[in-house]
Amino acid sequence: MYNNTVKFEKEEGIGIIILNRPKQMNALSVDLIEELSGLLDKVVKDNEIGVAILTGSEKVFCVGADIKEVSKIYTPVKARNFLAKVRSLFNKIEDLEKPVIAAVGGFALGGGCELALACDLRIAAENAKFGLPEIKLGIIPGGGGTQRLPRIIGMTKAKELLYTGDPIDAKEALLTGLVNKVVAVESLMDEGRKMASKIFRQPSFAIKMAKHAVNRGINMDVKSAIDYEARCAEMLFSTEDMKEGINAFIEKRQPTFVGR
d(CA 18, CA 133): 24
pLDDT band for 1, please (50, 70, 90 cuts).
very low
Question: Taking residues 204-215, what's their average pLDDT?
Answer: 95
Q: Among 1.10.12.10, 3.40.30.10, 1.20.272.10, 3.20.20.70, name the CATH number for the domain at 204-251.
A: 1.10.12.10
What's the pLDDT at 258?
Answer: 80
229 is catalytic: no
Residue tagged active-site, from 34, 48, 114, 186? 114
34 is catalytic: no
In tens, the pLDDT along 187-202 reads 999 999 999 999 999 9
Percent of the chain having pLDDT more than 90? 93
Average confidence score pLDDT of the chain: 95
Residue ranges of domains in the chain: 6-200, 204-251
d(CA 134, CA 146): 11
What's the pLDDT at 259?
Answer: 61
CATH code of the domain made up of 6-200: 3.90.226.10
Q: Is the pLDDT of residue 73 over 90?
A: no
d(CA 149, CA 35): 25
52 within 8 A of 17, measured Cβ to Cβ: yes
Residue tagged active-site, from 34, 94, 134, 240? 134
In tens, the pLDDT along 23-72 reads 999 999 999 999 999 999 999 999 999 999 999 999 999 999 998 888 88
Q: Which helix (H) or strand (E) holds 96?
A: none
CA dihedral sign, ordered 71, 77, 81, 86: positive
Q: Is the pLDDT of residue 107 over 90?
A: yes
* From 1-15, 87-101, 192-206, the region with the lowest mean pLDDT: 1-15
d(CA 253, CA 240): 16
